Amino acid sequence: MNIIVAGVGYVGTTTAVLLAELGCKVTGVDVNPDKIAALKNGQLPFYEPGLDQMLKKHYEAGNIAFSSDLGTVITDHDVIFICVGTPSQADGSADMRYVREVLSEIGATMESYKLIVMKSTVPIGTQVLAEQWIKEAQHQPYAFDVISNPEFLREGSAVYDAFHPDRIVIGSKSAEAATKLQVLYETLNCPVLTTTPATAEMIKYASNAFLATKISFINELARLCDALHVSITDVAAGMGYDPRIGMAFLRAGIGYGGSCFPKDVRSLLHTAAKQGMSLHLLQQAVNVNDTQYKYALHRLRDLLGTFQGKRIAVLGLSFKPETDDLREAPSLSIIPVLLTEGAVVQVHDPIASIPDGMRADKLTQHPSIEDTLLDVDAVLLCTEWNAYIQADWEKLLTVMKGSIMMDGRNALNRERLEALGYQYVGIGLGN
Ligand code: UDX
């Protein structure tokens, strides 16, 4: 099968590699010529473990090609996966500009039947609009199907997730079109759910909204645990053994970030508002998340007395480990507060860099953890990179001025750090 993947960000590139492994010939298309040029040179414009090697393998084998012009390659392809971004707009709704642009281009350039597979996270009801946008752009009424096939990839483990999906959701009006996709995914060996397109679109939002709510639930409870001198980590473990609850996504910390949860939750709230409804529980999950980093700062401020004149190390910029993605990362909310309140901030991240817009005299990024901790009064861990978990904390304490360790992800070994002489504080650990 010859497939176009439109939009080669982390979802599109991972999807292209998966489809190539499944035996398809794939053309990755993007309107950004720089991105296409970089990919042709084997360079990923973002960090995703394992993806570059797989891409190289399939590119060199001729299974994946790239183009910046959909119109010139569409004729040779029967199937088009849409993987373009749907970023948040000011009112919380998803910006459908890129989806609409690519669908219009498909409509305007197609000269035979096309199966269009929507992987981008799009508001419920988009499949109907998608058909309309394609028809409006068509010069002749060629047949097509638009299927909703949401992705559930996590950044940092996108390749693994693509090859080991928990489930595949296919939302299609046409049974024949759904079967084509089912055959394509046959070897992935996981439950396949076929639904209406709108249901498939809702499944994606509901999944992310539920996971975000789970995190906010445990984060809010963590604040109560601190007040009651109870450990949220033990509470979460005690809850998680109940299979109805499960261990996953009960790690308390400084809140969720990334390219999906914040955006998708806002979009679902916007969809509900358009129906004249409020999703109260989900709104509260957002409120908890919006204040969770402030809670961590409040605890750190209490320990230091003030941030004024204090030197603070921030470990980790990215919204989670194994990615350089800074979108909605809690660190980007935390650092400006520290600077505004007069702290000197020394930052480390194994991959991500301080964004240009945040540069300030009292903000520096250092290549090593040791340099970052030099003379600091306190450390604030924002991202649980393995490098921090494995670090030589005994040696690192000797370069610090103070001994405060605020573990914003409850990721470090509390007993060991306390034994070494750190004043260790986590989120909801009750100390
Ligand atoms: C998420 C979904 O998991 C994925 O299915 C969807 O396709 C895209 O959005 P991703 O954003 O890559 O994936 O990261 P994820 O691992 O889900 O973590 C999201 C955020 O929640 C991170 O900031 C992480 O640190 C935080 N988190 C996660 C917690 O604070 N506690 C947890 O227990 C789990």
Beta-carbon count within 10 A of 179 CB: 13
- Section 244-256 average pLDDT: 98
What pLDDT, on a 0 to 100 scale, did the predictor assign at position 334? Answer: 98
Q: Which helix (H) or strand (E) holds 395?
A: helix 393-399
Both tokens of 418, joined, read 């306390």
Q: Whose CA is nearest to atom 2 of ligand 1?
A: 154
Please give the Cα distance from 283 to 291 (Å, whole number). 13
* Distance from residue 86's CA to the centre of ligand 1 (Å): 18
Pairing of strands 404-407, 311-315: unpaired
Question: Whose CA is closest to atom 5 on ligand 1?
Answer: 152
The ligand 1 atom at the shortest distance from the C-alpha of residue 207 is 5
The answer for residues whose C-beta is within 8 angstroms of residue 370's C-beta and 6 or more apart is 395, 396, 399
pLDDT in tens, 110-128: 999 999 999 999 999 999 9
402: left (phi over 0), alpha (psi -120 to 50) or beta: beta
Cβ 423 vs Cβ 360: under 8 Å? no
Q: What is the mean pLDDT of the chain?
A: 97
pLDDT confidence of residue 211: 98
Atom of ligand 1 nearest to the CA of 208: 2
Q: Which among 128, 127, 130 has a CA at the least distance from the CA of 106?
A: 130
Q: Using 50, 70 and 90 to split pLDDT, how confident is the model at 153?
A: very high
- Closest ligand 1 atom to residue 253 Cα is 30
Query: Is 333's pLDDT higher than 90?
Result: yes
- Is residue 270 within 8 A of residue 264, CB to CB? The reply is no
Where do we find the tokens 């679109």? 201
Predicted pLDDT at 42: 84
Closest CA to 102 of 200, 5, 202: 5
Judge whether residue 431 has pLDDT over 90. Answer: no
Residue 150: pLDDT band (50, 70, 90) is very high
State whether the Cα torsion 283-287-289-290 is positive or negative: positive
Atom of ligand 1 nearest to the CA of 257: 23
- Residue-wise pLDDT for 195-220, tens only, equals 999 999 999 999 999 999 999 999 99
pLDDT at 162: 96
Between the CA atoms of 7, 8, 9 and 11, what dihedral angle is there, to the nearest 10 degrees? 90
Angstrom distances, CA of residue 100 to CA of 91, 103, 134 = 19, 5, 9
In this prediction, residues 249-266 reach a mean pLDDT of 97
State in Å: Cα 82 to ligand 1 middle.
22
Q: How far apart are CA 102 and CA 137, in angstroms?
A: 11
CA neighbours closer than 13 Å in the CB half-sphere of residue 274? 13
Tell me the C-alpha to C-alpha distance, in Å, between residue 190 and each of 161, 186, 285: 12, 9, 31
Residues with CB under 6 A from ligand 1: 151-155, 208, 211, 215, 249-251, 253, 256-258, 260-261, 319-320
Q: pLDDT exceeding 70 applies to what percent of the chain? A: 100
Catalytic residue status for 260 = yes
Q: How far is the CA of 29 from the centre of ligand 1 (A)?
A: 27
Distance 348 CA to ligand 1 centre (A): 21
CA gap 215, 211 in Å, rounded: 6
Q: What is the mean pLDDT of residues 308-334?
A: 97
pLDDT in tens, 22-73: 999 999 999 999 999 999 988 898 899 999 999 999 999 999 999 999 999 9
Query: Going by CA atoms, what residue is nearest to atom 10 of ligand 1?
Result: 154
- Cβ-proximal residues to 49 (8 Å cutoff; 6+ apart), any chain: 156, 157, 159, 322
pLDDT band at 364 (very low <50, low <70, confident <90, very high): very high
> Is the pLDDT confidence value at 397 over 90?
yes
Query: What is the residue with the minimal CA distance to atom 6 of ligand 1?
Result: 152
Give the long-range contacts of residues 163-169, CB within 8 A, separation 24 or more.
Answer: 163/18, 163/21, 163/188, 164/188, 164/190, 165/190, 166/190, 166/191, 167/191, 167/192, 167/193, 168/192, 168/193, 169/193, 169/195, 169/200, 169/203, 169/204
Q: What is the pLDDT at residue 33?
A: 92
| pLDDT tens, position by position, 74-118 | 999 999 999 999 999 999 999 999 999 999 999 999 999 999 999
Residue to substitute in 256, 264, 410 for testing ligand 1 pocket (most ligand atoms within 8 angstroms of CB): 256
E strands within 217-373? Answer: 311-315, 344-348, 363-365
232 contacts 225 by C-beta, under 8 angstroms: yes
